[in-house]
Amino acid sequence: MKSRLLACGGAVGALALFYGSSASAGTCETAAIQASAPADTTITSATSTAAPVPHCRIEGYVTTTNPGPNKVNFRLQLPDTGWQNRYYFIGMGGAAGYVPSDSQIPAGNPLVQGFAVAGTDTGHTGHILDWSFLADPAQARDHIDRGAHVTAVATQQITRLYYGVQSFYRYTSGCSGGGRMTTEAIERHPEDYDGVLLGAPGGRSSATMLAFINAAQQMAREPGSWVSPAKFVMLDAKVTAACDEIDGAKDDIIQDHTKCQFDFDTVACADGDKPDCLTQPELKSIKAIVAGPRSPAGQIKVGFPISNMTVWAGFMGQVPPPWSDAATVGNMARSSPGYVIGSSLAKVLFGPDFDVMTMDLNDQATIDRWWEATKKLDFGWPYSANLAPYRAAGGKVLMWNGVSDPCCIDTEMEQYYADAAVSVDGMNNLRQFASFYKIPGMGHCGSGTGPGDAPDVLMTELINWVEKGEAPGAVVAHRGVDRQQLLFADPATRMVSGVLVPPPTGTSRDFMLCRYPEVAVFDRSKAGVPNAVYDAANWTCQAPPRA
């Protein structure tokens, strides 16, 4: 009997109701698992493990060649009992570089909900923000797409033979670098998954890196040009106050940053530096980052969204420059992560001595060299958005993006969705297997002031689409520990493991998430009712007003 998932509300978070699987587990021994693995796969251990639920923990690697040889390390976790005929592949943020046990987005270990769980280091070991390994052709090929693909092939075969079944539901989810992995999967390996939850996929291309470099250059442009985290909090409050009610609801959320036209000159300091204003160097930096980097050929990438500007600080550094570009945990707490990321990739493209702080973004020859190098590397070149093969394979994909994400901007995801529609001869065809949701208030893969469980509730929506044929529609997400429905929370502790992204801030409330192009509209007749804007019952998804 196939299983079905029903997400439950309440303080327990994401408890689920399942029909039990009739499949029984196999033998958790290294030799037995090796016998069920493909020829290119080596099993190094198979261990009966108690937590978070009793399961067989399998460690191994796939040897890749041409280019190669290279080892793609993986971990596969197979529950002893209660397997729900579901397999989950963990999308890895940033540059990956380690073998995971927990899902990153949604956070937690899917074992607690009866999934078989697989993950890989994508063929190298290193810091999550260090791209230097891309100089190695085999490690580059494995990170781009091959490592995840061969891991999926191996771990799905082992899972199938371990439980003695012919088929099961195969899912993957990731955001940022994990969103890049899921995008590569549906474009290059459409046969790998039945359902894909695809979040904020590392930008449409390595133009995201150029935007990070532009921001770092602006922050270090002249004395006083760096903007402190406290100043971003100040700007956030002023912009939100100015644009909050554009969507018809006063709830401290800017639903659509493209409709917010804020004059930053109004916060210029009149007499010296003060906490509630911007100096001229700070003002120049903000304007340049909002405008986005440009070359003589035109816009390189759109500027950062001005909603939830507090989250900008996460890319600008906690202390003023000069910064180190070392990809270390200690340095990440000080330097600009955007600078570290951009510098790491630039040194792969242009050599180990290249200094992004002196890179001339106004020199078209330099920008052309960047794109030539990314195309040759096959990393950072714009995604094709060709989803015709994935449609033919019968898969479903649910895309999402934070409205306030400075990295991987929601309008880029919107354009990808439109381009994908062209690949399948129109939006009507695309909507048969692909949906897109914008998440208000959310920064990069989380944080901000948006919902804390958007990926969780969207994962439930995806499962119901794949397994029951229920097309996605309006979805209610939540902020606050008393309302959140965290899908992979431990039922005993109500906690999730493997959390990488800070939770959102703000009082508990609901959010109505709408299937693009619909938008959430508040019932203005309830405007005088206290806290009415925080209740999803007072919101509906409607077609956007015509421009």
Q: What is the pLDDT of residue 1?
A: 24
> What are the tens digits of pLDDT across the range 409-426?
999 999 999 999 999 999
- In this prediction, residues 369-381 reach a mean pLDDT of 97
Residue 56 CA to residue 116 CA, distance in Å, equals 10
Residue 399 identity (one-letter amino acid): M
Whether the per-residue pLDDT at 212 is higher than 80: the answer is yes
Lowest mean pLDDT segment, chosen from 17-26, 346-355, 385-394, 487-496: 17-26
Question: If you average pLDDT over residues 322-341, what whole number do you get?
Answer: 93
* CA dihedral sign, ordered 326, 331, 333, 335: negative
Average pLDDT for the chain: 94
- Asked if 407 and 446 touch (Cβ cutoff 8 Å), the reply is no
| N- to C-terminal Cα separation, the chain | 49
Confidence of residue 333 (pLDDT cuts 50, 70, 90): confident
- Considering only CA atoms, which of 412, 443, 451 is closest in space to residue 208? 412
115-120 and 86-90 beta bridge pairing:
parallel
The reported pLDDT for the residue numbered 383 is: 96
> Residue 69 phi/psi, 5° resolution?
-75, 155
Mean pLDDT within 498-508: 93
Residues facing residue 396 across a β-bridge: 195
Residues whose CB falls within 8 Å of the CB of residue 155, separated by 6 or more in sequence, listed in order: 74, 76, 87, 89, 116, 118
- Tell me what pLDDT residue 4 has: 28
Q: What is the pLDDT of residues 69-124, one digit of tens each?
A: 999 999 999 999 999 999 999 999 999 999 999 999 999 999 999 999 999 999 99
Q: Is the pLDDT of residue 16 over 50?
A: no
- The DSSP annotation for 247-289 comes to GS--SS--S-GGG----GGGGB-SSS--TTSB-HHHHHHHHHH
Per-residue pLDDT for 203 more than 90? no
More confident residue, 4 or 477: 477
- Per-residue model confidence as pLDDT tens digits over 259-298: 999 999 999 999 999 999 999 999 999 999 999 999 999 9
Q: How far apart are CA 437 and CA 463, in angstroms?
A: 16
Q: 547 pLDDT band (50/70/90 cuts)?
A: low
* Gap between the Cα atoms of 269 and 272, Å rounded: 6
- What phi and psi, each to the nearest 5 degrees, are found at residue 420? -65, -35
pLDDT for 5 equals: 30
Quote the Cα angle for 182-75-112, to 5°: 80
Contacts within 8 Å (CB) and 24+ apart, 539-543: 539/510, 539/512, 540/474, 540/512, 541/473, 541/474, 541/512, 541/514, 541/515, 542/518, 543/517, 543/518, 543/519
Query: CA dihedral in degrees (207, 212, 215, 216; nearest 10)?
Result: -140
Which residue(s) pair with 171 in the sheet? 88, 195
Lowest mean pLDDT among 23-32, 162-171, 503-512, 525-534: 23-32
pLDDT at 204: 82
State the pLDDT confidence band at 25, using cuts at 50, 70 and 90: confident
Q: What percent of the chain has pLDDT over 70?
A: 96
C-beta atoms surrounding 57 within 10 Å:
17
Please name the residue that has the structure tokens 């030799």: 31
Contact assessment for residue 383 and residue 430, using Cβ atoms and an 8 Å cutoff:
no
β-strand partners of 103? 108
Measured between alpha carbons, how far is 445 from 175 in angstroms, rounded to an integer?
A: 6
* pLDDT, position 21: 53
**Interacting residues of 453 by C-beta distance below 8 A, sequence separation 6+:** 13, 14, 106, 477, 478, 484, 485, 486, 487
pTM of the full structure: 0.95
* Gap between the Cα atoms of 5 and 272, Å rounded: 59
pLDDT of residue 499: 87
Contact 452, 522 (CB under 8 A): no
Band of the pLDDT at 429, cuts 50, 70, 90? very high
Question: What confidence tier does 491 reach under pLDDT thresholds 50, 70, 90?
Answer: confident
CB burial string 147-180: b at 16+ within 10 A, e below: bbbbbbbbbbebbbebbeeeebbbbbbbbbbbbb
26 secondary structure, DSSP code: -
User: Which of 397, 410, 415, 459 minimizes the C-alpha distance to 439?
Assistant: 410
Distance, in Å, from the CA atom of 82 to the CA atom of 115, rounded to the nearest integer, reads 9
Nearest to 162 by CA among 197, 116, 196, 104: 116
User: Does pLDDT of 488 surpass 60?
Assistant: yes
Say yes or no to pLDDT of 492 above 90: no
pLDDT digits (tens, 9 = 90+) for 118-175: 999 999 999 999 999 999 999 999 999 999 999 999 999 999 999 999 999 999 999 9
**pLDDT of 22:** 52
Distances, alpha carbon 171 to alpha carbons 49, 116, 535, in Å: 23, 10, 31
Distance CA(167)–CA(508), nearest Å, equals 41
